[in-house]
Amino acid sequence: MVAPLTRTEPAAQPRPAMWRRGVALLLKATLPLAIVAVGTYGAMQVMATAPDASRRPPTRDARLVEIAPARLATEPPLVEAWGEVEPSRLAVIRPQVAGRVEYIHSDLTEGGRIPAGTDLIRLDASDYELALRRAESDLAKVEAEIAIERGNQAVARREYQLLGRQLKPEEEALVLRQPQLASLEADKASAEAAIAAAELDVARTTLKAPFPAIVLSENVDVGTALSAGSEAATLVGSETFHVVVALPPGALDWIDFPAPGHEGAEVHLYDAAVWGSEVYRVGRVVRLSASLTSTGRMSEVVISLDDPLAQETEGVPPVLLGSFLRAEIAGRPIEGAVEIDRASLRDNDTVWVMSPEGTLEIRKVAVAWRGTDRVLLTAGLEPGEQVVTSLLTTVAEGMALRLRDQPAPSPAVAGSGGE
């Protein structure tokens, strides 16, 4: 007989083991939260204990700079350009009649200076003088025929009166020989015209200088047979030369051109390589060319220079044709403009200014005019403000600056915390 099975109860777990399991589960769930909380608290502590940053950096980091005060502009802007010296007047001497050269002026040679009205060349006028005498003879003959015809008319008029008949006007004109006299009057006018032409030909055998001139070239000698229209010499006016300078069209707004009662802008002309950097000649703007240059699309401004060869002006250098000169054209003044050196204008039209507190201010300025050495400003800077002229590799708004005669503060002072 089989004994009945009995149910055995599981053995009870010890209580300490169950507690440890519960603690492990609790730590696993709360540990990440604790780490986050501790990190947050530490960050807050760091931020709370950090020193208060001031806009003024520590004095021991002040950059040594040089400054120059901004100044009120007292001179107008100068528009600079380069241009070539050209003749203001040019004449090619060509005879209007043919002939053999009998006389040449002694200064009719390249570079010679000729006063106005001077006889340059005289041609053999014998043929033209003979033609003049023939024309004068023809005139005398016609005048004699007219005198005879007037006598014939007087006889015809007496005969007509004795006839006592009234004729038609056209018949009366024939009876009184009026057509014959009219024909002779026409012959007289023709003879007088022939005399005038012959006199003109005689006068044209002498070639004169049309204005005070310099001989640019000559191609003639005594004994040369010149034909009408052949080139004998080339003259340029010596009273005035022109300097033609090229400018961008935008620069024209600064230049005063001549107007009724108003001269053009004054111009200083320099040739530093020949005259030295301080010597210049004074000219005037006279006109603007009507078209742009084919290369560069530049405007051409014509400057007049009187007495270029210094014939009447002492103490100035002569200006030669073909010279390449630098022109400084006085522009229109800008009221209230502030002037600084061109090198002190920074990128994006900004200026570095040293404030009264010794910090750097980066100012945006309005540039009205840019020259080679200076710029004129109409906003952003006041006269007397200290402009930093030193070149700094790195800049920041509010950075500390000091001048050469201001010693850097001691480390003890520099290390004190700012409020």
- How far is 319 from 323, CA to CA, in rounded Å? 7
| CATH 2.40.30.170 is the classification of domain 79-88+235-330 | yes
**pLDDT of res. 16:** 54
Angstrom CA distances, 261 to 36, 264, 266, stand at 88, 10, 15
Q: Which of 125, 130, 124, 120 is nearest to 102 (CA)?
A: 124
pLDDT digits (tens, 9 = 90+) for 102-153: 999 999 999 999 999 999 999 999 999 999 999 999 999 988 888 887 887 7
- Distance of alpha carbon 198 from alpha carbon 346, whole angstroms: 77
Residue 44 has pLDDT above 70, yes or no: no
How much is the pLDDT for 166?
74
CATH of 59-76+335-410, one of 1.10.10.10, 3.90.1300.10, 1.10.15.40, 2.40.420.20: 2.40.420.20
| pLDDT > 60? residue 23 | no
Q: Return the higher-pLDDT residue of 411 and 314.
A: 314
Q: Are 149 and 180 in contact (CB under 8 A)?
A: yes
For 122-159, b where at least 16 C-beta lie within 10 A, e where not — what string? bbebeebeebbeebbebbeebeebbeebeeeeeebeee
Write the single-letter amino acid at 193: A
Confidence of residue 404 (pLDDT cuts 50, 70, 90): confident
| Cβ atoms < 10 Å from Cβ of 361 | 18
Residue % of the chain over a pLDDT of 90: 46
What digits encode the pLDDT tens for the residues 69-85?
Answer: 988 888 888 888 999 99
pLDDT band at 15 (very low <50, low <70, confident <90, very high): low
Sign of the alpha-carbon dihedral angle for 168, 173, 174, 179 = negative
For the ranges 25-29, 200-204, 259-263, the lowest mean pLDDT is seen at: 25-29
Residues 328-355 have a mean pLDDT of: 89
| 417 band by pLDDT with thresholds 50, 70 and 90 | very low
Cα(282)–Cα(278) distance, integer angstroms = 13
Is 28's pLDDT higher than 80? no
Which of 291, 317, 292, 288 is closest to 305 using CA atoms? 317
**pLDDT, tens digit (0-9, with 9 covering 90-100), for 325-338:** 999 998 888 888 99
Name the average pLDDT for the chain: 83
Give the pair of three-digit tokens for residue 275. 């005259």
CA pair distance 65, 46, nearest whole angstrom: 36
CA nearest neighbour of 381 among 144, 59, 69: 69
**What pLDDT is stored for residue 242 in this prediction?**
96
Rounded to a whole number of angstroms, the distance between the first and last alpha carbons of the chain is: 102
| Domain positions in the chain | 59-76+335-410, 79-88+235-330, 125-204
**What confidence score (pLDDT) does residue 418 get?**
40
Over range 79-99, report the average pLDDT.
94
- Of the CA atoms within 13 Å of residue 26, those in its CB half-sphere come to 6
List 324's β-bridge partners, or say none.
Answer: 84
Highest mean pLDDT, choosing among 58-67, 158-167, 274-283, 385-394: 274-283
Handedness of CA 12, 15, 17, 19 (dihedral sign): positive
Asked if residue 249 has pLDDT above 50, the reply is yes
> What pLDDT score was predicted for residue 207?
95
